[in-house]
Structure 1
Amino acid sequence: MLERYITIEGEGYAEIVEKKSRFIASVFPVESQEEADAILAKLRKKYWDATHNCFAYQIGERDEIQRFSDDGEPGGTAGKPILDVLKGHQIKNTLIVVTRYFGGTLLGTGGLVRAYGKGAKEGILAAGLVEKMRVCLFTLEMTYPLSGKVQYLLNDKAYVIRETQYTDVVRFIVEVEMGEEEAFTEWLIEKTNAEISIEKGDYDLIQRSVKC
Structure 2
Amino acid sequence: MYQLAAPAFADIEIKKSRFLGQLYPLNSRAEARQQLALIRAQHPDAVHVCWALVCAGDSGLDDDGEPSGTAAKPMYNVLVHKDVTNVLAVVVRYWGGIKLGAGGLTRAYGQAISDAFKNASLAEVQFFHEWDIVCAYADESQVRRLCDKFAATIRQVSYTEAATMAININQKTATSFEIELIGMLKGQVRIVKAD
Task: Report the TM range for the smaller structure's normalisation.
Answer: 0.5 to 0.7
Residues 1:113 and 1:177: Cα distance change in structure 2 (over 3 Å): same
Determine helix, strand or coil for the equivalent of 1:65: coil
Q: Deviations over 1:6-59 (max 9, x none)?
A: 111211111111111110012111111111001001100101101111111011
TM-score (ref. length: structure 2): 0.68
Task: Give the distance between the partners of 1:21 and 1:32, measured in 2 at CA.
Answer: 31
- Deviation (angstroms), 1:69: 1.0
- % identical aligned pairs: 36
Unaligned runs of 5+ residues in structure 2 are: 130-145, 152-168, 185-195
The equivalent of 2:94 in structure 1 is: 101
* 1:67-146 matched pairs, under 5 angstroms: 67-134=60-127, 138-140=147-149
The equivalent of 2:21 in structure 1 is: 25
**Which of 9, 12, 17 does residue 16 from structure 1 map onto?**
12
- Deviation (angstroms), 1:76: 0.7
Which amino acid letter does the alignment assign opposite residue 120 of structure 2? A
- Deviation (angstroms), 1:72: 1.2
Task: Give the distance between the partners of 1:101 and 1:47, measured in 2 at CA.
Answer: 9
TM-score (ref. length: structure 1): 0.63
Task: Give the distance between the partners of 2:59 and 2:108, measured in 1 at CA.
Answer: 21
**Which of 3, 6, 9 does residue 2 from structure 2 map onto?**
6
Task: Give the distance between the partners of 1:65 and 1:182, measured in 2 at CA.
Answer: 29
Q: Deviations over 1:34-93 (max 9, x none)?
A: 110010011001011011111110111xxx212111111111100111111112222111
Residues 1:79 and 1:181: Cα distance change in structure 2 (over 3 Å): closer
Unaligned runs of 5+ residues in structure 1 are: 141-158, 161-175, 195-212
The equivalent of 1:200 in structure 2 is: none
Task: Give the distance between the partners of 2:43 and 2:58, measured in 1 at CA.
Answer: 25
Residues 1:134 and 1:80: Cα distance change in structure 2 (over 3 Å): closer
Which amino acid letter does the alignment assign opposite residue 125 of structure 1? K
Higher strand share: 1
Number of matched pairs: 151
